[in-house]
Structure 1
Amino acid sequence: MTVLLFLIPLALFLGLSALAAFLWSLRSGQFDDLDGSAHRVLMDDDVEEEK
């Protein structure tokens, strides 16, 4: 029963830290351009044009 005194605050701390990390990533613009990376993979930028 005393283990609950340790586990409940630990679970709350982990949940709040995950929420804080998500809000930080949301504010820093991590989710602004979801399609850009998908299209950038398909672009062939390293091919040189023949003259």
Structure 2
Amino acid sequence: MSIIYFLIGCSIILALVFLGAFFWAQRHGQHDDLYTPSVRILLDDQPADETKK
């Protein structure tokens, strides 16, 4: 029975670590640019052999 208390404690600590990482990412602007990743594939450079012509 004591292992269940240990596992619950570990899961709560792990959840708090992930929650802290999420709030850190939000505060440092990791999710600000939502437009560029969606159109990046449309703006790819042409292959090198086609640009030499």
Q: Place the TM-score, normalised by the shorter chain, in its bin.
A: 0.7 to 0.9
Identity %: 41
Q: Residue 38 of structure 1 aligns with which residue?
A: 38
1:27 aligns with 2:15: no
Q: Which has the higher helix share?
A: 2
Gap runs ≥5 in structure 2: none
Q: Name 2:7's counterpart in structure 1.
A: 7
TM-score, normalised to structure 2, is 0.72
Which blocks of at least 5 consecutive residues in structure 1 are unaligned? none
Superposition deviation, residue 20 in structure 1: 0.3
Cα RMSD of the aligned pairs, angstroms, is 1.8
Aligned length: 49
Deviations 1:1-51 (A, max 9, x none): 111121111011011001001001111111101111222221144575x8x
